[in-house]
Chain A
């Protein structure tokens, strides 16, 4: 198994057709039907004029090559997509190669990484492509042996005749298979016969990664390329007034200093030189919007929580009446700060704007959107813009925004030269599109028996849009419910951050439900199960989550963690449905030197069928580490519009010492895969905070925990 890091359709053809001949199948990623498959010639393929949006090639030497369209940022798609094809094809996995495709919107759909949606989207199509190729190979063998195709079997890149033990390799059959008509109705495997799907397969890029090959955008180099760093306003709400670049321009290696929009770009021969010269810039700024500080945000939040003008997101029954008749009311507020995405590879992009077209190379989660915006900015037809995707050194949603691609393109067009714009860590952390700060107010009304008869949630945020997910549990299980929200327009830019909104909302909801359970005198798990039973029996309004799947992960987490049966350790529970999948978690906290210490987290996940056990396992563990780290430590605060942290010395990310044991389990219910890049993160904060409450009697309302509570993990 190997991959090419330099993406191109030509490479694909070359790789696939090295020995001449072979079978090339073009298949469709677009539209709702997964069937349109056709045999194509290598010449037609090389010309690049075909309508197919993906390819599967089998060369006479038996190598299977698959063109993978989605940006790879660690979600392991480059491994799991080919696994699906190889499964149905019964290919020899050691002979499967993956080629990263460039952006091509005429051929690919959803060439995006985000929303945990890639596998659910492509599952059928990929299976069908593999199964079709397999059937053609079987038919080619049947013809050669003059036996019925139905009497033959396939295994590990071979067609076998069980009657006489004869074998033919796929490579031997590829060229003959290419002459056969493409079957329109192929049978997919029964998932219980899967041999590759559900096993642990290593990352196909491991060798390149582990030997330091150039894979990432920051590694990209082109002869004659210039380097640039950009000085952006130091505070949100400031705009550029004047620039004195004389001293910077005179420094060694500096080619030019260019001002555009609010940016001052220093262009030169090397990263170090442009960074040094940048320090010699004399820039003055002037405010053109409010210069907000974190204290302002706290005040604004309080105002918005009482604002009469909220957008109603969901309303069931009569909430006011329920609260009037309540035997007990529980009310709490939860707040989180802004967060930086801080992928390990900072933002960067290469652009070369020429009179005849634009070349863009770099790490993006949304190549199509980036191209569209560059086309608009430069007033160039999108067809004249190519986007080459490098591997992404993390994304976490930051690379769903194209701001850094636009800057590179604009700069290249101004200096008329190929240039790579590099963000320093400080630029990356202070440059915006953060996870928005949000505050929630929850209210629950209990009747005399401890049943939750009323539920209110108001979410207020800083450029958070709708900070609620109004149809999430417990909606559907409470007779009287009101969920609304108010947004504050802030000059501080925000954007999706891994598990958008739910990354904090889940903590708040799951902590609050824990509070309500305790107020009702019920076990937190039993309390949730009661609500689920009610949603099942007497659903209130629409129920937009799968009650049985949620119950399934609850049951598994209870079983694996020994919920309620441990004496020497405090446990906290959390369960969440987000981004299509279900995850329940149990946090375990012990007291050490009078301090609560997070010792272990159990996770039970239902993401449908697991494709790659190795990747899936790491997605869950990584998601939990991410969820725990940000709940505990990370905090981006503002003073007069400027972020107060600009690197990992002030902005704390979780480190190895702080990582507890994590025990991951999957519900195996055989349903089609539903995605796993995000869903493990949201439940973690709640599981941990609820365990800390159990251990100390102290509720955590604000993140990050560590800063405010002096808490520790491990």
Chain B
């Protein structure tokens, strides 16, 4: 066990965990940030996606000891009031069905838009293809990413 200091959502957190603990479980079990979801644990579904240095990463396979000082954003910190363009678009398009995958979907989408504010349909699909939605809300996700892009401009 060791103490790790993490920069999450603009705040400092400390976690006393084993070095190989994935960021996902540090967030969920130790810091009470349960918006980041567990879906597969092997980087296959995207439910656990967070931003690290602004990039979308799979927190289920990212050991806490490898984070260092990299700033992390989770769904709880995507915006202060829940009004990030992606969140607005998700609400307007009424994307969630069960909703479980959506935090990961939005973190992937927001990382895409921060790098590429004007993605083509194909770029949207290829960025989002790593995120599984078992409820099949893919049409709405695609629509919401495109809508969020218009809001980002």
Contact = CB atoms under 8 A, between A and B. Distances in A.
Interface of A: 73-74, 76, 200, 202-203, 205-207, 209-216, 218-219, 221, 227, 252, 270-273, 276, 342-346, 391-396, 424-425, 614, 618, 621-626, 629, 647-649, 653-657, 659, 662
A647 B41 CA distance: 9
B90 A648 contact: no
A656 B39 contact: no
Interface string B127-149: 01111111111111110000000
Q: Which of A74, A210, A218 has the most CB of B within 10 A?
A: A210
Chain A contact surface mostly: loop
Interface of B: 1, 17-18, 20-22, 25, 28-30, 32-42, 44-45, 47, 74-76, 82, 87, 90-91, 94, 96-103, 106, 125-126, 128-142
Contact of A344 (B32, B100, B125, B138): B100
15 contacts: A203-B99, A209-B99, A212-B33, A212-B76, A221-B34, A270-B25, A344-B135, A393-B37, A395-B98, A425-B41, A614-B94, A618-B94, A625-B136, A653-B132, A662-B139
B126 A657 contact: yes
A375 to B, nearest CB: 28
A656 B141 contact: yes
Nearest to A657: B129
Given A206-B91, A227-B29, 6 more contacts: A73-B98, A74-B96, A74-B135, A215-B99, A342-B134, A629-B136
A471 B21 CA distance: 55
Given A211-B76, A345-B37, A648-B40, A624 B136 contact: yes
Instruction: Please name the 7 residue pairs, one residue from A and one from B, whose CB atoms are nearest each other, closest first.
Output: A212-B35, A625-B136, A393-B100, A74-B98, A212-B75, A209-B99, A622-B136
A392 B98 contact: yes
B90 A210 contact: yes
Contact of A622 (B35, B91, B97, B106): B97
Contacts of B133: 344
Nearest to B77: A212
Contacts of A219: 28, 34
A622 B74 contact: no
Given A210-B87, A648-B44, A391 B99 contact: yes
B103 A648 contact: no
Contacts of A622: 97, 135-137
Nearest to A425: B40
Given A207-B82, A623-B136, A656-B141, A272 B98 contact: no
Nearest to A220: B34
B106 to A, nearest CB: 7
Contacts of B30: 270
Nearest to B128: A656
B99 A273 contact: no
B136 A647 contact: no
Contacts of B28: 219, 271
B103 A212 contact: yes
B25 A211 contact: no
Contacts of A212: 33-36, 74-76, 103
B62 to A, nearest CB: 12
A628 to B, nearest CB: 9
Contacts of B29: 227, 270-272
A215 B100 CA distance: 9
Nearest to B35: A212
Contacts of B45: 344, 648
Contacts of B139: 621, 625, 659, 662
Contacts of A425: 39-42
B17 to A, nearest CB: 7
B23 to A, nearest CB: 11
B142 A345 contact: no
Contact of B138 (A74, A205, A394, A659): A659
B82 A657 contact: no
Contacts of B140: 618, 621
A621 to B, nearest CB: 6
A656 B90 contact: no
Nearest to A649: B44
Contacts of A211: 35, 75-76, 82, 87
B98 A210 contact: no
Contact of A272 (B22, B33, B90, B138): B22
Contacts of B136: 621-626, 629, 654, 659
Contacts of B22: 272
A207 B18 contact: no
A210 B132 contact: no
B34 to A, nearest CB: 4
Contacts of B98: 73-74, 343-345, 391-395
B129 A655 contact: yes
Contact of B134 (A210, A218, A394, A657): A394
